[in-house]
Amino acid sequence: MRVIETETWKQPFQWGLLLAFDSEADRNLLEGVGTDGIVSSATCIAVPVLHAQDVEIPDDWPDDEDVPDAEVEVTVTIGSLPSGAEFVGTLACPSGRLNVGDGESSRVLDVPAGVLAVAVSREPIQFAESVTITVST
């Protein structure tokens, strides 16, 4: 298993919610999901982000052409937790396989197995277009 250092990608979030959880654990979805804030349980973090349908359509957009989904840039890094993050907590990831994404599309990343310290930052905070998740052992 090769543990990532940093991985960055863009994807649409059809539900407007980014989830990070151990790929082999129950997500035990959280109370408070759907609020504007980041919520967590022992095994899952939920981060509100820009909804895929929140895209501005130009007046001259052709009727016969699909409008592309809005995308969010996601960065997952292993390292020292940054100061000033919006959320700081822990996340149990005993398998060392962190699933990051939503019900439509996600990535499974190799991270250190165990209880991880986690920091999450997003820009802008409301309707986030960029999310950075830093994990540390």
Over residues 71-97, mean pLDDT: 94
Given a cut of 90, whether residue 74 has pLDDT beyond it is: yes
What does the block give as tokens for 91?
Answer: 């996340």
Q: What pLDDT, on a 0 to 100 scale, did the predictor assign at position 111? A: 93
Peptide bond into 12 cis (omega under 30): no
Q: What pLDDT, on a 0 to 100 scale, did the predictor assign at position 23? A: 87
| Residue count (the chain) | 137
Q: What pLDDT, on a 0 to 100 scale, did the predictor assign at position 27? A: 59
Q: Residue 103: helix, strand or coil by DSSP?
A: coil
Give the Cα separation of 86 and 83 in Å (integer): 9
H/E element holding 123?
A: strand 114-123
Residue-wise DSSP of 46-77: EEE---TT--PPPTT--TTSPPPPP-EEEEEE
pTM for the structure as a whole: 0.88
> pLDDT tens, 94-116?
999 999 998 889 999 999 999 99
Asked if 108 and 26 count as a contact pair (C-beta separation under 8 A), the reply is no
Q: Which domains does the chain have, with CATH numbers?
A: 6-54+70-136 (2.60.34.30)
Give the Cα separation of 102 and 7 in Å (integer): 17
The proportion of the chain whose per-residue pLDDT surpasses 70, expressed as a percent, equals 90
DSSP letter at 81 equals P
